[in-house]
Structure 1
Amino acid sequence: MSLICCFDSCSQTLTCQKLLATVVRRKHTCTYLVQLDSWRDLTRAFASGRSLLSLSGRLQRSLAETLASAASCIKDPEASAQYLRDLMGPVAGCLVENASRSDLKSVAQQADVIYMVCCLLERLRGAARATQPRTQKVLFEMAHTVMNPLLTLLEVYKNHSTVVYMILKFVVDFVDGQAVFLDAKETSALVSFCLQLLQIYSSHNIGKVMLSLSSSLRNESQAEKYKDLRALLRLLTNICSKDLVGFLSDCGGEGSPDIAEVIYIGLDIVTPLISLDLLKYPKLSRDYFVLISHLLELYPEKVAHLNSDAFTRIIGSLDFGLRNQDSDVVERCLAAVNALASYNFKERLGGRGRLNSQLMESEGSNGKLQESISSHFLRLLLQILLFEDFRSELAGYAADALLPLLFCEQELYQRLVHELLDKQQNPTVKSRLATAFHNLTSSNNLSSSLDRPNRQRFRKNLLSFMADVSGFMQIK
C-alpha cells in the first residue's frame, strides 16, 4: 500500500477515493485491516514520509479522511486516540513549524513552500471530514494547535487565493463536523477563532479581487472564482447552527464570544461583495439564502440595529430571492420574511417596534414610497401571489410569511384590497375577488395568533384563495 505514489494517476484515484474508502466503510473489514503491518506502513508513510506528498491535493484529502476514519474501527478507545495522534500529529506539527519559521515572509511565496502548506491543509481538511464521536476529541485537540498558525498563514498569504480558500474550507469542514460534539469551552474557543479569522479577512479586504471580477462572470465555471466567498457563507451558516448557538446560549459566561456578533461581522464582510448579478449563480445563491434564512430565524432582533446600507442590502436580496426560479431559494426567502414579520408582530404586541424605524423603498400605486419593512413585504407578497408566476407548491411557506404581515399591517391590507377591487371593470370578477379576499382572513375561525393551529388554518385559507382566483389572476 505504501507504493500508492508509484501508481499512475488513474490508479491513485481509484485507490485513494474508491478502494481504501470502501474497505474502511465496512467495519468488520476495517477492524481486521488496521491490524495489518501493511496498513501501519501506510499510516507511517502518510504521517512522516514525503513520498505521498506527490499525490494531488484532492487525493491527499481523500487519503487523510480514509485513514482518520479507520480510527473508529479500533475497539480500544485509548488505542484509537493514539492511532489518530500518530497519524495527524506530525501533520499538524509540520503546519505549526512552517507558520513559525522566522524567515516565513521571505520564503512564503516559494513554490515548494506553498505546495507544502497546501498539502498540509488538504490533509487537515480530510481528517476534519472524518469527525465521528470517537475521533472528535483528538481532532479538536489537533485543530486547536493549528488555530493561531492558520491565522498567521492567512496574514502571510492574504494575496494568494488558493491558500486562502484552503484555509477557509478546512475551517468550514471542521466547524461542520465538530458542532454537534463541542462542550462550552470548546465552542467558545472555536467561535473566538472564527471571529479572529473573519477580522483578518476583513482587515486585508481579501474580497476586493472578487468585486473587480464580478462584471466578467458569464457562467457557472467562471463563478468558481468566487469559491472563497461561498466558503465564507458556509462557515457563517455552520456557526449559525442551532448546535453552537444553543450551547453558548445555555453555557455562555463572561468572556464567551457572542455568536451573533461573529455572524454579523462575517455578514458585513460578505454582503457588500454579493451583487444581485452574483445571486444569479445557483451555487452562490443557495449558500447565501441558506445563511440569511438561518440568521433571520435565529436573530431577527439584530436587523433593527443594522446600519442603513447593510439593512438595504439584506432586504434587497430577499426581494430578489422571492422572485428566483429556484424553489429552494424562494422557500428560504419566505422563511426569512416569516421570521422578520413574526418578530415584528410580537414586538408590537409588547409595545416595542424598533424594526419599524427601518424603512424600505417600495413601488406604490402612485409611484415610489418609503415604508416599514412589514408594509414593504406585504405589498410585495400580494403582488407576487396575484400577478406573477408563483408556484402553488410554495403556498404553505407563503402563508406562514403572509399571516404575521397581515397582523402587522391590517390597514394597509384593507387599502390594497380596495385599490385592487376598484380597478376591476368586470362586476363578476370584482365580486369573486372580494369574496376570496374576505374568506382569506375570515374562514376557518382564524384568530390573531401565530400558534401552529392558526397557521395551519391560514394555510388552508390561502390555498382556497389561490384556487378561487386562479381563473382570472396569474396564479399557476
Structure 2
Amino acid sequence: MRPTSLDVIFEDIHWILLISGHVICMDSEGETAMIPSEIMHYSIRQNSSNQADVNTSLKLLGSPTQRIQDIPGAEESADHVVRLIAAVLRLRDVETKTMENKASQLLSPQLSSTIIWFLNQWSMSYLLPNETYYSDMSIALVTAFGQHTEGAMWTINYLLNTIEMNLIYNLDKGLIKESVNLLTSLVELREKGAYVLKCAGFWNLVNKHNRSEKGILQDSAQRGLLKAFVLAGAALDTSQEKNQYLTQILKPLQERFKNIICDEAFLRNFHHFQVRNEIINILESFIGVVQGSQVSTVNALFGFISPVLAECANLLFIYKNYQFLVSLILQLYCECARGMLCYLTPTESKRLYECCLATIQSYAKCNLGRINLEKTALEDSFSDLQLLMELLTNLLSKDFIDLSPAETNDTGSTVNHLTAGNVCLYGLSIVMPLMNIDLLKFPSLCLQYFKMITFVCEMYPEKICQQPIELFKSILMTLELGLTTFGQDVTTLCCDFIQNLGAHLYKNKQQGSPAHQALRPFLKLLMDLILSHQVNSEILPNTGLALYVLICCYQDDYNVLVQSLINSQTDQDVAQRLAKSFNDLTSNIVLNTGSHQHVRFRDNFDKFIVNVHGFLLVK
C-alpha cells in the first residue's frame, strides 16, 4: 500500500500532464494532427536566439535514465518542448524500474494511463511530422523527431518498448486501452507505419503475440492490438510483402479457431469457461482485423476471415444462450459490411452475403417466439436487433458505394452477382417478426430501424412494394407508430419513407395495387397531424413533402377529406377561410410529384400552415 503523500503527488502530476497535453497539442479529431503554430514559433525563436542547443536537447531526450542535473547544459540550453517530452519519458522510466523491481503497487494506474495518453497526443503531431505542411520548422524538433532521423527511430522504439511492457505486465484496463491506442496511432498513417516496421520493438510485440496460445491480451484490448498489427501491414511496399506479413499475423489465429471448432469434443465442451473465453478472444481478434483493413489489404484479409464467417451461423446456434458471444458474432459481420464490403469483388461479396443470410436465419431460428415469452431478455434482444439493423443497412450501402475491382469470368463477361438490396430485404423479412412495440421503445434501436427501412425504400421502392402483403402491412404499421409516438427524428424518417414510396407509386401508375391501397390511410393521418398542431415546426418541410406526394397519389380522396373538414365547421366564417386556404394550397400547381411543382407547393404550404393554425382548432 502506497503512502498518502504519493497519492497527492500523483494527482498533481496527472493534472500537469493533462494541461500540458492540451497546451502543446490541438484537437485533431477528423483532421491532420499538426504542431500548433504558436509552439512551433516559440521553439524557432528559442533556437534562433541561441537559447537552445540541438545537441544538448538530443542528449537530454536520449538519456531517460539520467537526471537532468547530470547532463551538462541541459537545464540552461535544452529546447523547452524537447525538455518537456524528455521529462515525461523520464517519468515513464521511473515507472518501468518500479515494475521491474516488482513494486508496481506503489504506482498509480491513473497516472500511468495519463502518461500514455500524453505520449499518444504528442506523437500524433510531433513524431515524424510532414514538413510540407509547415512554412517554418524548428530545427530542434525536426532533428529530434523528424523523418529520417535517429532521434525519431529511438523515440519510436522507446514507445514500442513501453507499450510492450504495459500490455504484458500490467492488468489495469485503462492503461492497456491507452497503450493500444498509442500503438494504433503509431501505425495509422502509412508513413509512420513504415518506420514502426523497422523497429525491433514492434516485432517483439508481434512475435510474443504469435507465440502465445491466447494472444497477449484478453477481451476488447485484443481487438485493438490486432487492428494495429493489420494497419502496420498496409505500410509494406509490395503485395507479396503484405501477404507474407498478414499470413504471419493471421495464420496462427486462423489455426486456433480451426482447432477449436474441429475438435471432436467441441459440442460437448463448448459451454466450458475456457472454451468460451478462447472463442471470445478469437472473435475479438478478428473484429480488430476487420477494423484495421484498408483498400490495399482488404482482399487478402477477406481470404483469412471468410472461413471464420462461414462457421459463424453454426457457432451462433451453438452459443444462442450466451448473449455476449451472439453480439460478438453480429459485430464481426457489421464490421465486415461496414469496412470491407465496398472493396470486395462480386464473388467475395456473394460469399459475404451468403454468410450473413445464414447467420440471420440462425438468429431468427433461435429467437422467434422467445421475445414475448422472456420479458427479461428485452435488453439482450434490443442489442442484437440493433446490430442486425446496422448489418442490413451496411450491406445495402454496397449498391451505391462499390469500389471493388472489375471481375470477369473465363469468357470475359462480367460476373453476375446477388444484389445487396435483395439480401437486405430478405434479412428484413426475417427480422420483422422479431420486432414489437416494446423493442421500439428503445430509442437507439427505434432510430436504427426507421433509418434502415427508409434507406431501403429510398433505393428500392419497387422491391418494398413487391414484398408479401403481410410484411408490407407490418412495415406500414410501424410507420404509423413512428409518425405519432417516437419523436421528431423518427417522424422525419417516416415522412421520407412515405415520400419515396408515394413518388414511386405515382410515377409507375400503380393505382389500385395492394401497396397503393395500403398507403391510402396515411393521407388522412398526415392531414390530421398537421392541422392539430401535432407536428413540430422544425420538421414541417419534411411533412409537407410527404403530404404533397400523397395528394398527388390520392387526389380524389384529398378532395373528399377537404370537403368533409370544411363541412364539419359550425362557424361559416371559419369554413370559408378554411376553404380559401385549401384552395390556395394547390393553386397554380400541377400535381405530378415533379421537383418544380414541389417547390411551389412548399411555398404555398408554409403560408397555409401560418393561416390555418391561426384560426382552426381541430378537436
Same fold (TM over 0.5): yes
Deviation at 1:110, TM superposition (A): 1.2
What do the CA deviations read for 1:421-475 (whole angstroms, capped 9, x no partner)?
A: 1222334433332222112212xx4223333322222222222222222323479
1:242-253 to 2 correspondence within 5 Å? 242-243=398-399
Deviation at 1:206, TM superposition (A): 2.8
Q: Which moved more, 1:264-273 or 1:403-412?
A: 264-273
Compared CA separation, residues 474 and 166, structure 1 to 2 (3 A): farther
Tell me whether 1:413 sits opposite 2:558 in the alignment: yes
Compared CA separation, residues 258 and 19, structure 1 to 2 (3 A): closer
What do the CA deviations read for 1:18-75 (whole angstroms, capped 9, x no partner)?
A: 322332335543331221111011122233423645x341211122222222222334
What do the CA deviations read for 1:144-173 (whole angstroms, capped 9, x no partner)?
A: 222322233223223332222211110111
Deviation at 1:207, TM superposition (A): 4.7
Compared CA separation, residues 254 and 28, structure 1 to 2 (3 A): closer
d(CA) in 1 for partners of 2:414, 2:585: 47
Return the letter of the residue paired with 1:335. Answer: D
For residue 133 of structure 1, give the secondary structure of its aligned residue in structure 2. Answer: coil
d(CA) in 2 for partners of 1:42, 1:384: 62
Which of 381, 389, 413 lines up with 1:233 in the alignment?
A: 389
What do the CA deviations read for 1:184-211 (whole angstroms, capped 9, x no partner)?
A: 2222222122222222223x33354433
Compared CA separation, residues 101 and 455, structure 1 to 2 (3 A): farther
d(CA) in 1 for partners of 2:585, 2:422: 40
Tell me whether 1:318 sits opposite 2:479 in the alignment: yes
Deviation at 1:258, TM superposition (A): 5.2
Return the letter of the residue paired with 2:514. Answer: S
Tell me whether 1:465 sits opposite 2:602 in the alignment: no
Task: Give the aligned partner of residue 320 of structure 2.
Answer: 158
Deviation at 1:297, TM superposition (A): 2.1
Identity of aligned residues (%): 25
Task: Give the aligned partner of residue 577 of structure 2.
Answer: 432
Return the letter of the residue paired with 1:23. Answer: L
For residue 437 of structure 2, give the secondary structure of its aligned residue in structure 1. Answer: coil
d(CA) in 2 for partners of 1:327, 1:387: 16
d(CA) in 2 for partners of 1:402, 1:306: 24
d(CA) in 2 for partners of 1:43, 1:23: 15
Task: Give the aligned partner of residue 206 of structure 1.
Answer: 367
Tell me whether 1:46 sits opposite 2:209 in the alignment: yes
Task: Give the aligned partner of residue 128 of structure 2.
Answer: none
Deviation at 1:255, TM superposition (A): 7.3
CA RMSD, Structure 1 to Structure 2 (Å): 2.8
Compared CA separation, residues 99 and 375, structure 1 to 2 (3 A): same
Report if aligned partners of 1:5, 1:12 keep a CA contact under 8 Å in 2. Answer: no
For residue 289 of structure 1, give the secondary structure of its aligned residue in structure 2. Answer: helix
Report if aligned partners of 1:58, 1:122 keep a CA contact under 8 Å in 2. Answer: yes
- Unmatched 5+ stretches in structure 1: 360-371
d(CA) in 2 for partners of 1:59, 1:473: 61
Tell me whether 1:21 sits opposite 2:184 in the alignment: yes
d(CA) in 2 for partners of 1:304, 1:31: 52
Deviation at 1:254, TM superposition (A): 8.3
Which of 1, 8, 11 lines up with 2:175 in the alignment?
A: 11
- Unmatched 5+ stretches in structure 2: 1-162, 408-412
Compared CA separation, residues 92 and 470, structure 1 to 2 (3 A): farther
Tell me whether 1:35 sits opposite 2:198 in the alignment: yes
Q: Which moved more, 1:374-383 or 1:142-151?
A: 142-151
Q: How many residues align?
A: 448
Q: Taking structure 2 as the reference length, what is the TM-score of the superposition?
A: 0.67
Greater length-normalized contact order (CA 8 Å, ≥ 6 residues apart): 1
Write out the 4+ residue segments of structure 1 that deviate beyond 4 Å after TM superposition. 244-248, 250-255
Compared CA separation, residues 277 and 145, structure 1 to 2 (3 A): closer
Task: Give the aligned partner of residue 287 of structure 1.
Answer: 448
Report if aligned partners of 1:85, 1:138 keep a CA contact under 8 Å in 2. Answer: no
Deviation at 1:132, TM superposition (A): 1.5
Task: Give the aligned partner of residue 365 of structure 1.
Answer: none
1:22-101 to 2 correspondence within 5 Å? 22-50=185-213, 52-53=215-216, 55-101=217-263
Task: Give the aligned partner of residue 265 of structure 2.
Answer: 103
Q: Which moved more, 1:90-99 or 1:72-81?
A: 72-81
Deviation at 1:261, TM superposition (A): 4.1
Question: Which has the higher Rg, Structure 1 or Structure 2?
Answer: 2
d(CA) in 2 for partners of 1:97, 1:455: 62
Q: Taking structure 1 as the reference length, what is the TM-score of the superposition?
A: 0.86
